């Protein structure tokens, strides 16, 4: 009986260790050329409230070299990345779910994919390096209309469609997959292998 107890306890401790372990990296420290505009650290988002306590954007360590490659290729075209969101604490996900009960746009905080909670989802757009302005896209960030869908064409001008294609092409090329309902949202391929985290921003360096 004691052996079974010890074995069970060891298994539990290993699982807890895996759940609490992470390799979250501050994107700005890893690559200062990438623009960070963390919308949920401001009131400029669909909630109208400041949800995040820090204006620091974190991703899993494996994401960093992918973003480096994307940024380098974009810079050669006079363009760059602007990131709106990446790792998201569970308490923030709960706050979003309390407002939008629709898994097409917001993951349930305790079930489903929860890719932002894993630190392997990126909400991103493109900017012109000369002007610093965002390229025209089909909608603004956090738009829940059909126009925001990754392949939507109705009511969208050609320039916005072309810019969206450019973003999708380079993200897919470097290991990301677009989400159907949000043109700005991309998940790292094989996101399933990363654990769901529950780490507050205050607990991150």
Residues with catalytic roles: 182
DSSP the chain: -HHHHHHHHHHHHHHHHHHH---EEEHHHH-TTSEE--GGGSS-STTSS---S----EEETTHHHHHHHHHHHHHTTTEEEEEEE----HHHHHHHHHH---TTTS--TTSS--HHHHT-EEEEEEEETTT-PBPP-SS-TT--SGGGSTT--TT--HHHHHHHHHHHHHHHHTTEEEETTEEEEEEETTGGGSPP----GGG--
Which positions ≥6 away from 147 have C-beta within 8 Å?
138, 139, 154, 155, 156
């Amino acid at each position: 009986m004691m052996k079974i107890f010890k074995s069970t306890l060891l298994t539990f401790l290993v699982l807890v260790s895996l759940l609490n372990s992470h390799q979250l990296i501050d994107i700005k420290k890893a690559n200062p050329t990438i623009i960070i505009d963390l919308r949920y650290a401001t009131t400029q988002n669909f909630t109208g409230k400041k949800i995040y306590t820090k204006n620091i954007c974190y991703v899993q360590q494996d994401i960093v070299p992918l973003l480096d490659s994307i940024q380098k290729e974009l810079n050669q075209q006079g363009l760059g990345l602007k990131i709106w969101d990446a790792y998201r604490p569970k308490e923030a996900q709960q706050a979003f779910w309390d407002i939008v009960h629709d898994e097409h746009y917001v993951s349930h905080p305790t079930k489903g994919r929860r890719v932002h909670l894993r630190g392997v989802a990126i909400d991103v757009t493109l900017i012109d390096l000369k002007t610093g302005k965002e390229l025209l896209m089909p909608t603004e960030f956090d738009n829940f209309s059909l126009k925001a869908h990754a392949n939507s064409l109705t009511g969208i001008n050609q320039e916005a469609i072309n810019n969206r294609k450019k973003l999708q092409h380079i993200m897919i090329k470097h290991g990301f997959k677009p989400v159907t309902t949000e043109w700005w949202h991309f998940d790292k391929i094989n996101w399933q292998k990363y654990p769901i985290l529950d780490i507050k921003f205050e607990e991150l360096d």
